[in-house]
Amino acid sequence: MKSKCIYAATALCMVAVCVALQFSGLGARSVRVHQHLSGAWQRAEAMREDESSLHTHLPILQIDTGGQAVPGAPGPDGVIADDSRIRVSFSLADGQTGDNSPLDLPTVSTHADIRYRGNSSRFFDKKSYSIHLVDENGAEDPQALAGMAAHDEWALNGPFLDRTLLRNYLCLNVAGEIMEYAPNVRYCELYLNGEYQGLYLLMETVSKGEGRIDIPTPQRNSDITSYIVRWDRAGKGSHELDNFSYYTYRSDVSALDLRYPGENQLTEGRLQYVQQDVSRVEKMLYSMDITDADNGLTAELDLASFAQYFVINEFFRNVDAGRFSTFYYRDARGKMKTCVWDFNNACDNYIDYQWDEAGFTMQNAPWFGALLRDERFVDAVVWEYHQLRRGVLSDEYLLNYIDETLLWLGDAIERNFSVWGYVFDLSQYNGMTYLTPVERNATSHAQAVEQLKRFIVERGAWLDAHIETLYQYCSDSKNVNLLAR
């Protein structure tokens, strides 16, 4: 009898662990490096006595265009006439001694094909860059940058509308503690053609690779493939899918673009395979088959991944999530998963209008409105939320994280605003580089930080009180009405 009780107890424990892993997504996630907490980038006790150049504990990036104009900027009519790339010299000084200078021998020196990147951010004075590392012959040249895994594709984000300089660093690192993969990020200081450009965030792109989304390469002569797709504005992608939600007008102004397989491995057969696989999943989501125990939601989608994505984006009120800058990926041997990207507009930083602490937005995004019809998904979201509010989404953790990061950045903040500080002068207001209406804009970096902190506290309090109301979307009456339409 005693042994039977032990076996029963062991079985119950195993079931509990499996349930927890299903909801939490633990197990495959790698250890997250938070740059401001790593000894590699702490300030040296004594900087070198050299007043002729900058000395910083941050990595220093230098880009030399050789006199070429960087493509990708919108013209006076707002149209981007040239979205090609130019070949430039690219170097990184990152001795990880706490004392870097632009005069130091680079730790990485190569070439890169670059252009400006982003949507509304292309209109900002402080530009962001898409970077493809190449050798002198133009072949891909993967490099490990600032402690991140070697790859040839990178994004260089210039925080501008985000006057705190914090949103992407904070949110992507928090997501990295929650999800199987979130792009790694590193602060750096940028020189463009010898001119100081301020504080930037070097970011891994959402792409295939070891240390990124590690899915297998398709087998030769096979149409079956693992893949990465991205929701964004229709007409923007190179290989947009004619998938079910698109041709049935459920995707609004968004479209899915195939990001992997890339040009070198993409065939018409593989494009059709991905299109059909996505459409098959969508037909399940937008029908009552979603609740089928064998072939529904849990057979096709990684429940924890989608629930975590929902929570992290709702918490920080990233209103573009699920519609724009949204990535899904699938190992052909497994289930669909999600990946976060771009939190510049989060926490009431959307340029066109205010999104305060109250309300949900993910229910209006393609796929997520359908997912909420399934009680299992709502259960997973609510469970994830309550767990995370005790940890990395607690007020204490987030406010302390902000303070620690700002203390660590130190003089780099002042240097950044020595170039871009005019944004705090509201007499310079215009609708392209300031929040609308004008009174939403901070007049100092300290005020911008306080606005962010206040939003986080108020958003958490609102969600604490209302997260359970998500169950309205999976009620029988709600689903019957939707089916009748």
User: Taking 80 as the threshold, does the pLDDT of residue 77 lie above it?
Assistant: no
Whole-angstrom CA distances from 20 to 23, 168, 176, 384 are 5, 28, 18, 10
Q: Read off the pLDDT of each residue in 392-397 and give the average, rounded to a whole number.
A: 98
Q: What percent of the chain has pLDDT over 90?
A: 80
Residue 108 has a pLDDT of 97
Residue 343, classified by CB atoms within 10 Å of its CB into exposed (0-12), middle (13-18) or buried (19+), is buried
- As a whole number of Å, the end-to-end CA separation of the chain is 57
Return the C-alpha torsion angle 242, 247, 251, 253, nearest 10: 80
Q: Read off the pLDDT of each residue in 100-125 and give the average, rounded to a whole number.
A: 93
Please report which confidence band the pLDDT of residue 20 belongs to, taking 50, 70 and 90 as the band edges: very low
Q: Read off the pLDDT of each residue in 169-188 and give the average, rounded to a whole number.
A: 97
Residues 210-264 pLDDT 10s: 999 999 999 999 999 999 999 999 888 889 999 999 999 898 889 999 999 998 8
Residue 399, classified by CB atoms within 10 Å of its CB into exposed (0-12), middle (13-18) or buried (19+), is middle
User: Taking 80 as the threshold, does the pLDDT of residue 476 lie above it?
Assistant: no
Please report which confidence band the pLDDT of residue 482 belongs to, taking 50, 70 and 90 as the band edges: low
Q: Read off the pLDDT of each residue in 77-106 and give the average, rounded to a whole number.
A: 91
Residues 253-301 pLDDT 10s: 899 999 999 988 999 999 999 999 999 999 999 998 888 877 788 999 9
User: Taking 50 as the threshold, does the pLDDT of residue 14 lie above it?
Assistant: no
Strand, coil or helix: what is 124?
A: coil
CA distance 27 to 30: 8
Mean per-residue pLDDT of the chain? 90
On whether the pTM is more than 0.85, the answer is yes
Angle, to 10 degrees, between the axis of helix 167-178 and the axis of helix 395-409? Answer: 130
Residues 25-59 pLDDT 10s: 434 556 899 999 999 999 988 778 777 789 999 99
Residue 477 has a pLDDT of 67
Q: Are 115 and 72 in contact (CB under 8 A)?
A: yes
Please report which confidence band the pLDDT of residue 435 belongs to, taking 50, 70 and 90 as the band edges: very high
User: Among 14-18, 153-157, 407-411, 473-477, which is the least confidently predicted range?
Assistant: 14-18
H helices present in 242-330, as ranges: 244-247, 268-285, 297-300, 303-315
121 vs 308, more confident: 308
At a CB cut-off of 8 Å and minimum separation 6, what does 259 contact?
A: 206, 207, 228, 229, 230, 327
Please tell me the total number of residues recorded for the chain in this structure: 485
CA distance 182 to 340: 6
